[in-house]
Amino acid sequence: MKNFTYHRPATLQMALPLLSDKWGPTELLGGGTDLLDRTKDYVSQPDVVVSLTGLGGAFREIQSAAGGPLPTITIGAGVHLTDIAESRLLAAYPALTAAAGQVAGPQIRNMATLGGNLCQRNRCWYFRDEHVNCLLKGGRKCFAQEGENQYHAIFTQGHPCVIVNPSSLAPPLIALGAVAKIVGPKGERELPLEKLYQAPVKDTQREHVLAPNEILVSVRFGGAGVPGGAMYRNASYEVRQKETSDWPLVQAAVAYHTDRTGVPKGVRVALGHVAPTPLLSESAAKALEGKPITEATATAAGEAAVEGARPLSQNEYKVQQTKVAVKRAVLLAAGVKPYWFAG
Ligand SMILES: Cc1cc2nc3c(=O)[nH]c(=O)nc-3n(C[C@H](O)[C@H](O)[C@H](O)COP(=O)(O)OP(=O)(O)OC[C@H]3O[C@@H](n4cnc5c(N)ncnc54)[C@H](O)[C@@H]3O)c2cc1C
């Protein structure tokens, strides 16, 4: 890998001035499980690496504050995935803890941070090959469009580059209505998490809308928004080729609240690994809103979720998997016995 200068500031205020206002010369390091792969493969060649491992306090904590029917949860961007998967403060959010517990394997989960997971770069094999000059590296062509595209996007319309966003934590957090807190040279700003993402088309863009000199500080969810006395339901379901050490083929996360009748309200459905960004599926949410959860409504939500899908030459199979993932996430959230597990 190319030599770089390494900084390990102790505060966000010390970290910010070390960052360039252009993508490339500087990189942030959370746990390094994505960044170091890229530097070793010469896909990223920063002159300066700014490690966030020296930051303490709220950046490394999961905090729960009373204030509404549900506590407000704030997770610092420096919290490791293992700690998210195992946190008792997150017991009401199985969509998130299950997704965190299924990322990669224990070694990666122990190192990887929330911020790094949400901001990790895509895993397209053309992008990750140092010899291939694809759109995202300043080239003129997306090689996956007509090449080996079995793991790529199925929502491709309007997308010159057909990567999938690789984060498994983004879909559950989006379903939970999380808000991202960001700091930069101009101060702090907040974004609904779904608005953190964009479909990149050139080398001066990332999979997210952060500026090169901004830092994701935390995500927040819960609190107000659920009526008193309501029950909050949520789940994530991943279709995986391997049980461990790989990304899901598709993922669906569902969240809603309900009274004793079990009818869902405020439904949010988010899809992962099917488009260049995590997708908030309004059509799937509409198919469920206000209707009793049954096998039929869960199936209808899955059908609605794939409206507009335009798979590539080798990944039509993901359309059916997406339907199944949505259906199973809906049934899991409702507490229906998962009949698809043997035994
Ligand atoms: C075999 C294998 C299987 C995997 N399976 C999965 C999976 O199933 N699901 C999944 O989601 N991931 C999976 N991953 C990816 C893994 O989860 C990521 O590598 C990890 O989450 C990145 O976290 P990190 O802290 O190590 O990031 P880093 O490598 O430190 O950073 C990643 C990127 O994010 C940026 N960044 C880091 N922190 C911040 C911040 N606070 N603000 C702004 N930018 C920041 C960095 O500059 C860098 O560009 C897998 C990885 C491997 C190797």
In angstroms, what is the span from residue 339 Cα to ligand 1's centroid? 33
What pLDDT digit, counting tens, does each position of 38-71 carry? 999 999 999 999 999 999 999 999 999 987 778 8
> Do the bridges between strand 62-65 and strand 179-184 make them parallel or antiparallel, or are there none, so unpaired?
unpaired
* pLDDT attached to residue 342: 62
Pair 327, 235: CB distance under 8 Å: no
What per-residue confidence (pLDDT) applies to 337?
Answer: 77
Over the Cα atoms of the chain, what is R_g? 20
* pLDDT band per the 50, 70, 90 thresholds, residue 79: very high
> For residue 141, what are the β-bridge partners?
134
> What are the helix and strand counts (H, E) for the chain?
10, 12
Q: What angle do CA 34, 216, 257 make, to 5 degrees?
A: 100
> What is the pLDDT confidence band of residue 224, given thresholds at 50, 70 and 90?
confident
Task: Give the span between the Cα atoms of 90 and 285, in whole angstroms.
Answer: 23
The total of other beta-carbon atoms located within 10 Å of residue 164's CB is: 29
**Gap between the Cα atoms of 242 and 245, Å rounded:** 7
For strands 48-51 and 26-29, give the pairing: parallel
262-282 confidence digits (pLDDT tens): 899 999 999 999 999 999 999
* Closest atom of ligand 1 relative to the 102 alpha carbon: 8
Amino acid 329: pLDDT: 97
- Listed in sequence order, the DSSP H helices in the chain are 12-15, 35-40, 81-86, 94-102, 106-111, 114-119, 170-175, 282-288, 295-305, 317-333
For the cut 60, the answer to whether the pLDDT of residue 343 exceeds it is no
Among 52, 103, 121, 174, the mutation site with the greatest number of ligand 1 atoms within 8 A of its Cβ is 103
**Residue 314 in this model has a pLDDT that exceeds 80:** yes
Residue pLDDT, tens place only, 89-131: 999 999 999 999 999 999 999 999 999 999 999 999 999 999 9
- The model's pLDDT over 191-203, given as tens digits with 9 standing for 90+, comes to 999 999 999 999 9
Which of 266, 273, 276, 247 has its CA nearest to residue 326?
273
Ligand 1 centroid–CA 6 distance in Å is 19
CA of 208 to the centre of ligand 1 (A): 13
pLDDT at 4: 98
CA 73 to centroid of ligand 1, rounded, Å: 22
Question: In sequence order, what are the residues at sequence separation of 6 or more whose Cβ sits closer than 8 angstroms to the Cβ of residue 329?
Answer: 95, 235, 236, 237, 252, 253, 254, 269
Which pLDDT value is given to residue 225?
Answer: 72
